[in-house]
A and B are shown apart, each in its own frame.
With several copies, the nearest count.
Chain A
Amino acid sequence: MPMIKITLNGQAREIAGGSSVAELLALSGADRQQVAVVVNEQIVRPEERKARILEENDQVDVLVFAGGG
């Protein structure tokens, strides 16, 4: 299956076309903690991540809580 280009946390990246957000998280090792996912400025809830298929040029941000004041 052909690869597609997306942006993950600001970095260009290729993944297999048809991959879901959930698959991207697994590939990225981001499936073992609570993360927030934003695709093209839209929040993607945990329950939507399996169904949400990524498309060419999607802007994906995966966010966690770090130390802050």
Chain B
Amino acid sequence: MDPLQLGTYSFSSRLLLGTGKFGSARAMLDAVRSSGTQLVTVALRRFNREQAEDDLFGPLSEIGGITLMPNTSGAATAKEAVRAAHISRELSGSPFIKVEIHPNPHHLMPDPIETYEACRILASEGFLVMPYIPADPVLAKRLEDVGCTSVMPLGSAIGSGQGLSTAAMVSIIIRESGIPVIVDAGLRSPSEACAAMEMGCEAVLVNSAVAVARDPAAMAAAFARAVEAGRQARTAGIMPKSGTAVATSPLTSFLGSAT
């Protein structure tokens, strides 16, 4: 399939994977492998010698072909997000940063004002900025204007599995956008990821749906297939809807000839 272009980076996989909420580091790593993902989100956390397994940097590096996209989770303001980005880059060596500023723990919805300010600053510092945003067409365009590499509108609340509830707005964002649009958050199943790709998203970011599946590695593979199917369908030209039925078989009446 045609590669996903983000800044100067090119990825053959269009499935971005989050690493939170897995039952174990092993389960997460198996899912990363079977998903074929090349861009993976991680989050900063204070070192704790009792939870050495927390540290994902080593294990993820060993897989190979993986680029890290740290997020700014925990930041409630632009200032905090910028600081988290600086620390993350120090640790990851990656120019990618997922800007994620959600002050309210009940719904984890992004703050458009703080997100806009943080993205403006980080883009000017040369980060490849990937903001997690509400499905807001004008905000998306303004983030493009300040130099974001992609916009990542939410499908529904993080971890809710309520799917692409924002489809109408996301399709406007796609129509107007000059940068890749990636749906992030809320996708529950591969069919939803496939639908996002059919709409014209350049990629999808999934975490909970894989992490809490009974078999995360199998679910990761299923998402990978569905994302490819959706991209392929988009380029193959999806049929238009019709208000009426259109026969696929000849309606020859020979059968009635003798009745």
| Interface residues in chain A, defined as those with a beta carbon under 8 Å from any beta carbon in chain B | 9-10, 28-30, 33-36, 38, 40-41, 43, 45, 59, 61-69
Checking A10, A35, A43, A67 against B43 with a beta-carbon cut-off of 8 angstroms, the contacting residue is: A67
Asked if B90 and A43 sit within 8 Å, CB to CB, the answer is: yes
CA distance A9 to B252 in the complex (A): 11
List chain B residues, Cβ under 8 A from A43: 86-87, 90
Asked if B44 and A36 sit within 8 Å, CB to CB, the answer is: yes
Given A35-B47, A61-B254, A63-B46: A68 and B55 interface contact (C-beta under 8 Å): no
CA distance A67 to B41 in the complex (A): 8
Checking A29, A34, A61 against B46 with a beta-carbon cut-off of 8 angstroms, the contacting residue is: A61
Asked if B47 and A62 sit within 8 Å, CB to CB, the answer is: yes
CB distance from A41 to the nearest CB of B (A): 5
CB distance from A64 to the nearest CB of B (A): 4
In the complex, B175 has a CB within 8 A of chain A: no
Chain B, interface residues (CB within 8 Å), range: 35 or more
CB distance from A69 to the nearest CB of B (A): 3
List chain A residues, Cβ under 8 A from B48: 9
Interface of A is mostly: loop
Q: 0/1 per residue, B184-218, Cβ < 8 Å to A?
A: 01000000000000000000010110000000000
CA distance A9 to B254 in the complex (A): 8
CB distance from A54 to the nearest CB of B (A): 16
In the complex, B149 has a CB within 8 A of chain A: no
CB distance from B32 to the nearest CB of A (A): 11
Asked if B87 and A36 sit within 8 Å, CB to CB, the answer is: yes
In the complex, B106 has a CB within 8 A of chain A: no
List chain B residues, Cβ under 8 A from A67: 18-22, 25, 28, 42-43, 54, 56, 248-249
* Minimum CB distance partner of A43 in chain B: B90
Asked if B54 and A66 sit within 8 Å, CB to CB, the answer is: yes
CA distance A48 to B229 in the complex (A): 49
